[in-house]
Amino acid sequence: MSEAKTSKEQIINDFKEHDKDTGSSNVQIALMTARINELTGHLKMHKKDYSSRVGLLALVSKRRRLLDYLKKEDFKKYKDILEKLGLRK
pLDDT computed for residue 2 by the predictor: 63
From first to last of its 89 residues, what are the pLDDT tens digits of the chain? 567 778 899 999 999 999 988 899 999 999 999 999 999 999 999 999 999 999 999 999 999 999 999 999 999 999 999 999 999 87
Q: What is the pLDDT of residue 6?
A: 80
- Sign, CA dihedral 74-80-84-88, equals positive
Q: Where are the domains of the chain?
A: 3-85
Global pTM value: 0.90
Enumerate residues 6+ apart whose C-beta is below 8 A from 37.
none
Q: CATH top-level class for 3-85? A: mainly alpha
